[in-house]
């Protein structure tokens, strides 16, 4: 059972993610917010025998859901999103909650509630790969802003994500890594692994390459929000970063 995973750059700095279960050819798109590049990626994979089965939505913001209805209309794929957010998501074909399982061919994802950036934000964890599609909850070297949820909710979500296996691919919703690295270096000035990672990120961006997915094991030693030892420290870091330039 292999899941291939590709980031699709959309809008100014978002990623949709195209997944394909190798055995069945079943594909899923996570957070399709821009019809043209997403459909081009889907059609390229369809040319080699793939079929879009699922549209997975992490949260209700327009930069994650804007093209979901259009992609469904063009492909017949089913939209999966948070039951708690049904009133502000496109019509859901499968409304999910914590602990629910989503099937993509022979691959399975567990739904994890990860509130904080928004209330009702969810993430999809494919344990076999392992890969986490976490929208605007955890970013490489950063985390989402607290737009609806509390610091406590985001901290709880990050603690749960942090308990996943070291080799989990963190497939997040934005290319924010380079800016996050500047803040992380200010927060963790003596972290050598971070300094090395920041140099690599600069190189990747100079070449126009995505810096994601990141590995959770690396994030645990360089992401200041995962390293925060307490809720108080997390809260202090989050408000420091909100004003950081």
Applying CB under 5 A, does 60 fall inside the site for Zn ion?
Answer: no
- Work out which of 136, 153, 175, 219 binds Zn ion, going by CB under 5 A: 136
How far apart (Å, rounded) are the C-alpha atoms in residues 91 and 218?
A: 37
**Binding site partner of 35, from Zn ion, Fe ion, none, Cβ cut-off 5-8 A by kind:** none
Query: With respect to Zn ion, which residue has the nearer C-beta, 65 or 226?
Result: 65
Question: 5 pairs with which residues across the strands?
Answer: 19
Question: By the 8 A CB rule, do 202 and 153 touch?
Answer: no
Tell me the C-alpha distance between 29 and 194, whole Å.
31
Helix axes 231-242, 177-187, angle to 10 degrees: 120
Site residues (vs Fe ion, CB under 5 A):
63, 136, 173
* Closest CB to Zn ion among residues 50, 116: 116
Return the number of the residue (137 or 197) whose C-beta is nearest Zn ion.
137
* Identity of the residue, 59 or 155, whose beta carbon is nearer to Fe ion in the bound complex: 59
Closest residue to Zn ion, based on beta-carbon distance: 61
- β-sheet bridge partners, residue 110: 101, 125
Determine which residue in the list 60, 61, 238, 241 makes contact with Zn ion, applying CB under 5 A. 61
Structure tokens at 140: 């490489």
The contact set with Zn ion (CB under 5 A) reads: 61, 136
């Amino acid at each position: 059972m292999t899941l291939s995973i590709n980031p699709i750059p959309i809008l100014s700095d978002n990623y949709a993610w195209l997944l394909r279960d190798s055995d069945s050819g079943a594909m899923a798109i996570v957070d399709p917010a821009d019809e043209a590049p997403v459909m081009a990626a889907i059609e390229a994979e369809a040319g080699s025998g793939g079929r879009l089965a699922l549209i997975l939505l992490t949260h209700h913001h327009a930069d994650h859901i804007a093209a979901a209805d259009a992609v469904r209309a063009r492909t017949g794929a089913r939209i999966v999103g948070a039951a708690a957010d049904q009133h502000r998501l496109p019509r859901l074909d499968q409304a999910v909650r914590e602990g629910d399982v989503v099937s993509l061919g022979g691959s399975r994802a567990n739904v994890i509630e990860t509130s904080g950036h928004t209330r009702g934000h969810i993430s999809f964890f494919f344990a076999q790969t392992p890969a986490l599609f976490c929208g605007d909850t955890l970013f490489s070297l950063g985390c989402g802003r607290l737009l609806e949820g509390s610091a406590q909710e985001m901290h709880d979500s990050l603690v749960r994500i942090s308990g996943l296996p070291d080799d989990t691919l963190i497939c997040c919703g934005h290319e924010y890594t380079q800016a996050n690295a500047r803040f992380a270096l200010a927060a963790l000035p003596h972290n050598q692994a971070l300094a090395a990672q920041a140099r690599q990120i600069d190189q990747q961006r100079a070449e126009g390459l995505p810096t994601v997915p990141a590995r959770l094991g690396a994030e645990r030693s360089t992401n200041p929000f995962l390293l925060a030892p307490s809720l108080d420290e997390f809260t202090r870091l989050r408000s420091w970063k909100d004003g950081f330039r």
